[in-house]
Amino acid sequence: MRCTFKPTMIAALVGAGLTSFGVASPVLAQAVEPQTLNQRLSQAAGASAQPAPAPKVTKVDVERKGRIGHDVFLGTYLSLDKECKVGATPRIEFTTNPTGGKMRTRTNAINLRDVPGAPRKNCIGISPTGLAVIYRGERRFKGEEKIVFKVIYPNGDMREVNAKVVVE
């Protein structure tokens, strides 16, 4: 069996105190400061250990009016980058459930022309699918409903939505 290494791999292994067989060399290990193998390899490769940015938390208030027995649309959520590539679907967590109705989610196509802040130049003709949040009041419920839910995006960012629905 023949092993082939690229010159950069060999330099990284030798700089980390390893021989080409992956066994620690006592001579090289004495010359290198005591560190973990991952720290040595990342330093040899020139990687910088910067902490990951903290996720952003955004709070949003939504007010909607609806009729008895009809769906009330609260919003559609998706992950979209600057090149209009759709990412993984965000996760919805209902923290406060309604007392006079039910919450549900479903897929919903979005027209990016109507979305504030969407990169319109790159996104012409693209209609991505997002996750819609919908409230439906019970047949006999009339009044005001307060709902709180969280939208958790794949990158860790979170949006807390305080929704007020008035059913007439």
Q: Which long-range contacts (CB under 8 A, 24 or more apart) does 43-50 make?
A: 43/15, 44/11, 44/12, 44/15, 44/16, 45/12
What is the per-residue pLDDT for 46? 54
Contacts of 55 (CB under 8 A, 6+ apart): 155, 156, 157, 158
Per-position pLDDT tens, the chain of length 168: 444 433 333 333 333 333 233 333 333 333 444 455 556 555 555 555 566 678 899 999 999 999 988 999 999 998 888 778 888 999 999 998 899 999 999 999 888 777 777 776 777 777 888 999 999 998 888 999 999 999 999 999 999 999 999 998
Q: Which domains, and CATH codes, for the chain?
A: 7-45 (no CATH), 57-167 (2.60.40)
CA torsion 94→97→71→129, rounded to 10°?
Answer: 0
What is the per-residue pLDDT for 3? 44
Tell me the whole-structure pTM to 2 decimals.
Answer: 0.65
What is the per-residue pLDDT for 65? 95
